[in-house]
Structure formats: C-alpha cells, structure tokens
C-alpha cells in the first residue's frame, strides 16, 4: 500500500500509551513501526479523618471507611467524598464535602470534621386526665432505629438539626395491683423534623388515665348445676376493680334482669332445659364486667325408702330380717333421667342383702318408677335404733358429666334382743305328745264307726 498512514496504539493497564505515529509507505517498501510502552509509577495514598470510621467514597473504588490506604498509578485523579458522622444526637460535618486529588507522589490526605448546628429538645411526659401533671414515664430517643438516649419523666438534650430523631414513650411505671399500668400514652411515637439552629423545641408525651373494666365472678351456683323447676335459686357473686369501685350487681336469667345485689334468691325457673345465669357488675366509671354459668332445670327425682317391719329381734347368732324397699320416681318423661345411688349411709354393723342392686344406676321416666328390694339384718347388734339413708347423683340421659346431687329420706330400724331361752330351737316329740296323738286317732275311729 503506497501512501501516508497514522498508527495509534491501544491502552494497557499500568503503562503509558505511546503517541500516535505517522508513516509514509512507498512502492514495494516494508516499514516497521514500534510503539514503546513505559511502565507507570505507583504511589500510596492514605486517606484519614479525625472521625474514625467516617464513610469515604472514592470514585472508581467505592465506599470505604476511614482510615483507608491504597496504591494508585501516578497521574490518576481521585475524586473523594466524605460523609457526615453521627454520634448519638450529634452530627459532625467534614470541612470539605468533596475534594480532587492528583496522584503524583506518596501522600496522606487528612480531613477535619466540625460539629454540626444543633437545637435543644425538651421532652416531658404529662397526664391529660385532669391538671396535666407530670408523670414518671419512660422516654426513648432513637436515631436510625437505635436508642441513643433514655430518660424518665423529663429530659433536655442537644440534637443536630440534620437528624430526624424519633421519640418513643413507654408505659407509666405507676401501677395498681396485678401489675396493670395507670396510664397509657396517646402519642407513643413522634418524629422530629425541620429543626432550626438554636431552636428550643418542647415535646410532650401525653398520657391518659387507663380505665379498666371490672371483673365479675359467680360463686354460686356452679356451672352445670341441676335445679328443680319449683325451687328458688340461690345466687352469689363478687366483683373486682383495680382502679375504681363496684357500684352495682345485676343478675339476669337468659338475658332478663331478675334481681340486684351480691347475694339473692332468684325465683324458680319453670321451663325445663338449659338456662344461662349472668352476673353483671358496674363500676363508678360506668364500665361493666360479666360472668355467666349454665344451669339445667329438670325435676329432681325422688328416692323414697321404707322398712317392713321397722322392728326386728336379734340374738348373738340370729337376726330377723326387714324388707328394704327403694322406690325411684321422676316427673320428667323426656329425656329420661338416670339415677346413680353411690352410697348407702347406714349404721355400722347392719347387713343389707341385695345392696348391689341398689347401687346399680337406673333409668326412669314419668309414670315408670323403679322399685328395688333388699333385706336388712343386724346379727349380734345390741338393742337400739339404726339409720339407713341413700345418696347419689342424677342426670338427664346423654349428659353424665352434668349432674345434680340427690338423697333419700332416712329410715330407722329398731333392734330388740332376745335371751337364749327365747331362741327358737327344734324339739324332739316326748311321750306325752305320742300318747295324745294315739288317743286322737282312736277317738276318730269310734266316731266314724257310729
């Protein structure tokens, strides 16, 4: 190729790029062109600030922490930015936010920081219930999500105007019983913005008095109790209030008010089945608390027992027996009632034959009473009067976990003793008896013959 040409050389890291060369090529000529690369010198640059750990941004390198040291090629131009440094509520500012440095030797770059402009924050906690008196509640000041200052009730702090601190108010330490706080904060979190240098800003954490609801407790009847439709129901309850006083006790059955007071007798509930008794307590602030129980209204079965005879005679080795008749009846047809007699209360020493039949649960409906028979004896017992009584439970069929108690009438067995001569014995016929029998036979023969 004949003519003039410009030769350019590419960059190579760490070396100076040779200058462009212009060559002239004649016909049939071979031209050799040489680009000489000269190695660049490296220098150490150390960047430090009088606020250790300050963030430094170096263009082409990225963010680093002060102090920072690195080697750069000569003639490199470094653009360095220093960020503000926050310590607690104070902010420190670099004397120069951005500098340009040309690398031509080993060097150290120092940056000095100065304290940023500040304002004063005066923070206190007050009650807005009544006279706005100061209360001793917790104050937390946060920067970047971290707590940098804590106080209680009141504090005055200096704060850099470039920060946007967050003030949080904790619960009041004043408590009633059961550890319940007396106040709650209305404005629990406040972010401070647009502070001016030299400004004094007053901030209040406003607390309002907590009004706690009272609690009610029904002492009687117990949940799941059985009552009869013809009996008055005794109810008793209590109320508790940590910040006021109970002013009223209200009782209702199935939502209908039936009486007032801590203790009273509720009129009979005629409708059989499940019913809810509710106690409502009202405090001086008009707040209410409630408790309720479920009761079951069903006719109570009747257990009656009788003895026949009521007097028996006994000796040391012998006892007459009395028949013990147990009758179990109910006024409820559906659902059937189950009666479980679990205990026969009797004077020690009495023997009841067939007691296992009495202690077996029975199922009864109206018009279908159950009768159980057993026999009572008192061998070797001294003369006297002895009692028998039955106790147990009853429930409506299908709900054995909800049951009521039941008991029978009491019967008295009177025991008399007889002496040994009175004890019945088997006698062998004597001669008198035999002669009397023969005479009777002979007399009957002559009478028939006539």
Within-domain flag for 372 = yes
315 and 290, same structural domain? no
Within-domain flag for 408 = yes
Residue 420 pLDDT grade (very low, low, confident, very high; cuts 50, 70, 90) = low
64 and 24, same structural domain? no
311 and 412, same structural domain? yes
Mean pLDDT value across residues 99-125: 94
307 and 417, same structural domain? yes
CA distance 336 to 366: 8
Q: 205 exposed, middle or buried (CB, 10 Å; 0-12, 13-18, 19+)?
A: buried
What is the pLDDT at residue 443?
52
The CA-based diameter of the chain, rounded to the nearest angstrom, is: 198
CA distance 348 to 391: 16
What is the pLDDT at residue 446?
47
Residue finishing a domain among 297, 322, 356:
297
306 and 276, same structural domain? no
Residue 427 pLDDT grade (very low, low, confident, very high; cuts 50, 70, 90) = very low
What is the pLDDT at residue 225?
86
Within-domain flag for 428 = no
Mean pLDDT value across residues 101-121: 94
Write out the residue range of the structural domain in which residue 368 sits. 302-422
Within-domain flag for 434 = no
Within-domain flag for 239 = yes
Among 145-149, 240-244, 398-402, 446-450, top mean pLDDT goes to 145-149
**Is the pLDDT reported for residue 447 higher than 50?**
no
Torsion of CA 95, 97, 98, 104, to 10 degrees: 30
Residues 116-143 have pLDDT tens digits of 999 999 999 998 876 788 888 999 999 9
Within-domain flag for 412 = yes
Mean pLDDT value across residues 346-369: 91
26 and 104, same structural domain? no
- Mean pLDDT, all residues of the chain: 88
Residue 226 pLDDT grade (very low, low, confident, very high; cuts 50, 70, 90) = confident
263 and 362, same structural domain? no
Structure tokens at 34: 């040489």
**Is the pLDDT reported for residue 242 higher than 90?**
no
What is the pLDDT at residue 436?
53
Residue finishing a domain among 297, 332, 358:
297
What is the pLDDT at residue 174?
75
159 and 258, same structural domain? no
**Is the pLDDT reported for residue 425 higher than 80?**
no
List all residues 6 or more positions away from 368 whose beta carbon is below 8 Å from its beta carbon: none
Residue 386 pLDDT grade (very low, low, confident, very high; cuts 50, 70, 90) = very high
Residues 305-338 have pLDDT tens digits of 999 999 999 988 889 999 999 999 988 787 888 9
Residues 10-56 have pLDDT tens digits of 888 888 888 888 888 888 788 888 888 888 899 999 999 998 889 99
Residue finishing a domain among 115, 139, 166:
115
**pTM of the complete model:** 0.52
Structure tokens at 354: 């067939």
CB 174 within 8 A of CB 181: yes
Structural domains in the chain (count):
5
CA distance 328 to 364: 8
287 and 311, same structural domain? no
CB 283 within 8 A of CB 216: no
Structure tokens at 279: 């106690």
CATH number for the domain that contains residue 274: 2.60.40.10
**Is the pLDDT reported for residue 62 higher than 70?**
yes
Mean pLDDT value across residues 259-268: 94
> What does the DSSP assignment read for 353-414?
ETHHHHTS-EEEBTTB-EEEEEEEE-TTPPSEEEEEEEEEEEEETT-TTS-EEEE---EEEE
Within-domain flag for 244 = yes
**Is the pLDDT reported for residue 448 higher than 80?**
no
344 and 332, same structural domain? yes
What is the pLDDT at residue 434?
52
What is the pLDDT at residue 419?
65
250 and 221, same structural domain? yes
308 and 359, same structural domain? yes
Residues 166-224 have pLDDT tens digits of 999 988 777 776 677 888 888 889 999 999 999 999 999 999 888 889 999 999 898 98
User: Looking at per-residue confidence, does 236 or 331 come out higher?
Assistant: 236
């Amino acid at each position: 190729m004949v003519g003039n040409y410009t030769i350019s050389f590419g960059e190579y890291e760490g070396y100076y790029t040779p200058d462009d060369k212009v060559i002239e090529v004649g016909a049939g000529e071979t031209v050799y062109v040489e680009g000489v690369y000269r190695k660049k010198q490296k220098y150490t640059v150390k960047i430090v600030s009088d606020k250790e750990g300050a963030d430094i941004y170096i263009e082409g390198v990225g963010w680093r922490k002060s102090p920072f040291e690195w080697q750069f090629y000569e003639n490199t131009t470094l653009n360095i930015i220093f960020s503000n440094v926050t310590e607690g509520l104070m902010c420190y500012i670099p004397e120069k936010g951005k500098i340009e440095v040309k690398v031509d030797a080993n060097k150290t770059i120092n940056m000095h920081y100065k304290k940023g402009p500040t304002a004063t924050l005066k923070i206190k906690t007050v009650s807005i219930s009544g006279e706005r008196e100061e209360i001793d509640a917790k104050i937390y000041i946060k920067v970047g999500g971290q707590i940098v200052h804590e106080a209680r009730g009141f504090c005055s702090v200096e704060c850099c105007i470039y920060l946007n601190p967050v003030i949080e108010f904790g619960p009041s330490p004043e408590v009633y019983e059961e550890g319940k706080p007396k106040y709650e904060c209305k404005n629990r979190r406040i972010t401070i913005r647009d502070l001016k240098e030299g400004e004094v800003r007053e901030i209040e954490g406003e607390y309002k008095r907590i009004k706690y609801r009272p609690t009610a407790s029904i002492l009687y009847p117990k949940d799941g109790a059985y009552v009869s439709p013809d009996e008055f129901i005794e109810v008793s309850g209590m109320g508790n209030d940590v910040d006021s006083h109970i002013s009223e006790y209200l009782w209702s059955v199935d939502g209908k008010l039936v009486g007032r007071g801590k203790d009273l007798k509720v009129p009979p509930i005629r409708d059989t089945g499940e019913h809810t008794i509710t106690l409502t307590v009202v405090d001086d602030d008009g707040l209410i608390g409630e408790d309720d129980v479920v009761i079951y209204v069903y006719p109570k079965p009747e257990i009656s027992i009788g003895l026949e005879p009521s007097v028996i005679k006994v000796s040391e080795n012998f006892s007459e027996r009395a028949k013990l008749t147990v009758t179990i009846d109910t006024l409820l047809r559906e659902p059937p009632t189950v009666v479980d007699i679990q205990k026969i209360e009797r004077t020690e020493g009495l023997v009841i034959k067939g007691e296992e039949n009495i202690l077996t649960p029975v199922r009864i409906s109206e018009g279908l009473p159950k009768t159980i028979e057993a026999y009572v004896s008192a061998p070797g017992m001294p003369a006297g009067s002895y009692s028998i009584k039955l106790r147990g439970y009853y429930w409506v069929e299908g709900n054995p976990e909800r049951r009521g108690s039941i008991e029978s009438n009491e019967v008295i067995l009177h025991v008399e003793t007889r002496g040994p001569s009175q004890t019945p014995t088997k006698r062998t016929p004597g001669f008198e008896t035999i002669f009397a029998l023969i005479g009777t036979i002979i007399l009957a023969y002559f009478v028939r013959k006539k």
